[in-house]
Every structure is written in structure tokens, then in C-alpha cells.
């Protein structure tokens, strides 16, 4: 067992219920295929690596372990999972940190499932930064964050309006108000809009090995959509 939990926030891949903004361009089936590819790449990259992989999934009444194991052709014993808890994203994130703290992990790094291009180096940088910082954030280009890491389950989530351009700055200010030290990683984009997907296509054309399942899926979708 590592001293660090790497938690991926994920939704069970069900047609019509994932990445709805992309679905308006790709269709429900194409979006489902793409999100499944995201899960495959993340599972294959992080399962059995330096840190203990966890999935925090939603909805609660699904067999998420079996789903990912089947998609990625991996043994589900390579990770642990638990359902998300709470109506708001901030509440669910706080629950993740409280869960891993109860499981005696000294460090917790949380990412979302919509950044299949997020590499191991960034995770290692976050872990290293936790040696001297209370809170580590990976700024997303939309004003939020793609990664959040802490040693303790500090409440840096209450009264923060999630999914707005002010999330990162408000989180930093809240942490500083609690007397916490903050370290920022390099900015990165996640995949929410068609423009984000176009950037990902460009990256994977140069570095296909970064997310091979996603790259193959995008090749198929581009041909299918003409």
C-alpha cells in the first residue's frame, strides 16, 4: 500500500448521460465511445502504478469496477472504488478526501475522468509538492482546476460556486483564509467542448502514445462524421 491515494472522479458510461455538450456534436453513441476510451486510457496508465488508484463513481447503483475492468482488459483488484456522495460537486469532492483520510492515506490526489492526456509526470509533481504545501491545484484553462491534492481533508469547497470561471481563485482565497499554503501546477485543459476536443486531436496526432485508446476512438469518429 502506498501512502498516496490517486482518485479519479468518474461517471458510469451510459449513453445519453455523459458529456452532454459534446454529445450535441458527436451524438450520444459517439460520445459514449469517446468517454469509454477516456476510462481505458486512465485505467491503463494509473492502475498498478506508484500510487493506490481509486475510482469515485456515480451513480451509486452500478458495478463500476466490472465495467472498467472489462473496458480496459485489467483485473479490478488493481484499484479500489467507492460511490460519490453529495448533490453538489464540492460536497462530493470533500467526501472523497474524508474517505481516503479514513482509509489512512497520508496524501490524496484527485483528478477528473475528462483529461485522458493527463500524464504520470503531473501526478508525480503534485505528490512532490504535497511535501511542502497543504493544497496543490492544477489550474484548468476555464478557471477551474483539473487536479486537487491535500494531506488532510480541509474544507476548501464550501460556498464555492463550482463550474464557474471563479472556482480556482475562490478556492485559493478560501485556502489562504484557513491558513493553508497553496502550490499551483502548470495549467491544462479538460475536454468539455468541441474546441477542447479539437485541441486533443492535435495533441494526439503528435503524441499518440499519450492516450492510445482515445486516439483510436477519435480516428474512428472523425471518419464516421466525415
Q: Round the average pLDDT of the chain to a whole number and report it.
A: 95
Q: Which band of pLDDT confidence, cut at 50, 70 and 90, is reported for residue 224?
A: confident
Nearest CA to 131 out of 63, 208, 183, 59 is that of 183
Q: In the prediction, which pLDDT does 164 show? A: 87
Q: In the prediction, which pLDDT does 223 show? A: 84
Note the pTM of the prediction, 2 decimals: 0.96
pLDDT exceeds 70 at position 226:
no
Mean pLDDT of 199-218: 95
| pLDDT tens digits, 111-134 | 999 999 999 999 999 999 999 999
| pLDDT tens digits, 8-56 | 999 999 999 999 889 998 999 999 999 999 999 999 999 999 999 999 9
Q: Which band of pLDDT confidence, cut at 50, 70 and 90, is reported for residue 225?
A: confident
| pLDDT tens digits, 149-183 | 999 999 999 999 988 889 999 999 999 999 999 99
Number of domains in the chain: 1
> How many other C-beta atoms lie within 10 A of the C-beta of residue 100?
26
- Computed from CA positions of residues 18, 137, 41, 200, in that sequence, does the dihedral angle turn out positive or negative? positive
Length of the chain in terms of residues written:
226
CATH of the domain at 46: 3.90.550.10
Which domain does 205 fall in, by range?
A: 4-225
Cβ contact 172:136 at 8 Å: no
**Edge-to-edge, what's the strand order for the sheet holding 80-83?**
80-83, 52-58, 4-11, 107-112, 145-150, 135-139, 182-184
Query: What is the rounded CA–CA span in Å between residue 137 and residue 156?
Result: 11
Q: Among the residues of the chain, which ranges form H helices?
A: 20-46, 64-72, 89-102, 120-129, 167-177, 194-206, 212-225
Amino acid at each position: 500500500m502506498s501512502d498516496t491515494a490517486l482518485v479519479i472522479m468518474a461517471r458510469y458510461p451510459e449513453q445519453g448521460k455523459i458529456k452532454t455538450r459534446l454529445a450535441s456534436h458527436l451524438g450520444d453513441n459517439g460520445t459514449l465511445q469517446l468517454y469509454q476510451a477516456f476510462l481505458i486510457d486512465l485505467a491503463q496508465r494509473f492502475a498498478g502504478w506508484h500510487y493506490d488508484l481509486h475510482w469515485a463513481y456515480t451513480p451509486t447503483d452500478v458495478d463500476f469496477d466490472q465495467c472498467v475492468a472489462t473496458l480496459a482488459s485489467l483485473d479490478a483488484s488493481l484499484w479500489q472504488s467507492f460511490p460519490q456522495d453529495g448533490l453538489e460537486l464540492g460536497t462530493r469532492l470533500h467526501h472523497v478526501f474524508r474517505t481516503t483520510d479514513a482509509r489512512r492515506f497520508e496524501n490524496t490526489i484527485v483528478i477528473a475522468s475528462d483529461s485522458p492526456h493527463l500524464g504520470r509526470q503531473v501526478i508525480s509533481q503534485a505528490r512532490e509538492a504535497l511535501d511542502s504545501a497543504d493544497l496543490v491545484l492544477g489550474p484548468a484553462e476555464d478557471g477551474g482546476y483539473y487536479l486537487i491534492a491535500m494531506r488532510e481533508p480541509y474544507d476548501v469547497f464550501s460556498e464555492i460556486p463550482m463550474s464557474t470561471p471563479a472556482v480556482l481563485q475562490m478556492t485559493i482565497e478560501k485556502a489562504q483564509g484557513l491558513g493553508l499554503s497553496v502550490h499551483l501546477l502548470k495549467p491544462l485543459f479538460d475536454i468539455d467542448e468541441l474546441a477542447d476536443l479539437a485541441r486533443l486531436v492535435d495533441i494526439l496526432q503528435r503524441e499518440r502514445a499519450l492516450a492510445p485508446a482515445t486516439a483510436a476512438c477519435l480516428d474512428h469518429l472523425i471518419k464516421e462524421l466525415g
